[in-house]
Amino acid sequence: MAGKTETAVAVLVGAAIGACVGILFAPDEGSKTRKKIKDGYDHKRDEIKDKLHEISEQVKSKFGHSQADLQSGLDHLVETVEQKKEDIIATLEKKLEELKGTAKAAANK
C-alpha cells in the first residue's frame, strides 16, 4: 500500500507544480493570476484531503479487521487454556486417587 500512496502523492504534487508553472507563465494580469493560483491551490488541497481521508479509512478498516481477528484469536486461546487447565486438574486428581489407593494397599500389607 505504501507504493500506491507514494505514487498518488507524487502525481498530486506533480499536477500541482505543473498547474502553478502554467499559471505563472500565462499572459494574464496579476490579480487574475493570483486568483487562478488560489483556486488551483484550493482544488488541489481538497483533492489531497480527500485522498488522505480515503487512505485513512483504508488503514482504519485494515487494522479494524486485524484488531477483531486478534481479539477472536485471544478469546480462542483463553478458551483453549481453560479447557487444558480442566483436563490437567482432572488428570492430577485421578493420579492422586491412584496414589492414595497404592499407599493404602501398601499400608495394609
Question: Taking the model in full, what pTM does it have?
Answer: 0.38
Is residue 79 over pLDDT 60? yes
Residue with cell 505543473: 18
pLDDT one-digit tens code per residue, 6-54: 787 787 788 778 776 776 676 667 677 677 777 777 888 888 888 888 8
Q: How far is CA 90 from the centre of its chain?
A: 41
User: By residue range, what is the domain housing residue 77?
Assistant: 2-108
According to the model, what pLDDT value does residue 105 have? 82
Total domains in the chain come to: 1
According to the model, what pLDDT value does residue 24 have? 66
According to the model, what pLDDT value does residue 61 have? 76
